[in-house]
Amino acid sequence: MEEKRLRLDLFIAVLALVISGIAAGSSAYQTYVIRKQFSATVWPYLTFVTASSPDKYFEVDISNAGIGPALIMGAAITRDGKVIARPAGANAQPAIEAAIQPDRTQAKADQEAANAPVHGTSSMTASSIFPGDVISAGTKLELLRVEGKFLTRRVLADAHRIDLKLCYCSLLGDCWTKRFWDPGVQPRAVKTCPGA
C-alpha cells in the first residue's frame, strides 16, 4: 500500500512538472510573438532615392519608407572601396566632395582663391549624417544635390565609384545595413552596428 502511494505521489509530481514546463514554454512563446508583433509597429526601412538630369542636376535622398524611426548608428563614404570618411561630428560635405571629385576639391579651392568661375555655374549641397541622428518614418533627407551641367556630368560619370553604407536600428534594437550600390533590394539585418 505504501509503495502504491509513493508511485501515485511520484506520478503527481512528474505531472505537475510537465504541466509547469508547458505553461513556461507557452508563456515564452507568447512573449516572442508579442515582441515580433510590436517590432513590426516600429520597423524602419531606409532606401536611397535618386533623381537626375544629365544637363541640370543630380540628387540622392535617403527615405524612411517604414513605420518607425531609423536611429542612425554609423555611416561610411567610400570611393573605389576605400573609406573616405566616417561622419562622426564634422560636416560631411568636404568628405563627399573628395569622394565624388578629388580633382573638383582642388579646383574649388583654386576657384575660391582666384575668385573666378570654373566651367560655368555649379553648386553642391550635402547633408551630414551622424551617429545618433534619427530619420522619422515617412520622411526623407536630401543627402546630396549637385547642380550645373559640368559638375552634374562629372558626378554622374563617377557615381558608380562612390558608395555610402548606413547602419541603423529600430527602437527595439533590431539593426540593418543599407548600401547605396547594394545589389540586394532589402536592407541586411545585422546583430549590431559596428562601433555602436
**Statement to judge: residues 125 and 166 lie in one domain:** yes
Q: Is residue 109 one of the residues assigned to a domain? A: yes
Best mean pLDDT range from 26-40, 74-88, 160-174, 182-196: 160-174
The number of domains in the chain is: 2
**Statement to judge: residues 33 and 104 lie in one domain:** no
Distance CA 196, CA 192 (A): 7
**Statement to judge: residues 125 and 89 lie in one domain:** yes
**Statement to judge: residues 177 and 116 lie in one domain:** yes
Find all residues with CB under 8 Å of 114, minimum gap 6, and list them.
none
Distance CA 72, CA 87 (A): 11
**Statement to judge: residues 8 and 104 lie in one domain:** no
- By residue range, what is the domain housing residue 29? 1-41
- pLDDT tens digits for 114-171? 454 555 567 888 888 888 899 999 999 998 888 888 888 888 888 888 888 899 999 8
**Statement to judge: residues 8 and 91 lie in one domain:** no
Distance CA 46, CA 61 (A): 10
Distance CA 171, CA 129 (A): 18
Kindly report the backbone phi and psi dihedral angles of residue 92, in degrees, each rounded to the nearest multiple of 5, phi listed first. -85, -15
Q: Is residue 15 one of the residues assigned to a domain? A: yes
pLDDT recorded at residue 40: 65
**C-alpha distance from residue 62 to each of 58, 72, 83 (Å):** 14, 12, 20
Find all residues with CB under 8 Å of 168, minimum gap 6, and list them.
44, 46, 70, 71, 72, 73, 135, 175, 176, 177, 178, 193
What's the pTM? 0.67
pLDDT recorded at residue 44: 93
Distance CA 68, CA 136 (A): 7
- pLDDT tens digits for 47-75? 999 888 877 888 989 999 998 999 999 98
3-state DSSP call for residue 115?
coil
- Cβ neighbours of 13 (radius 10 Å): 10
| Residue 140 CB-half CA count within 13 A | 13
Q: Is residue 57 one of the residues assigned to a domain? A: yes
Task: Decide if 185 contacts 62 (C-beta within 8 A).
Answer: no
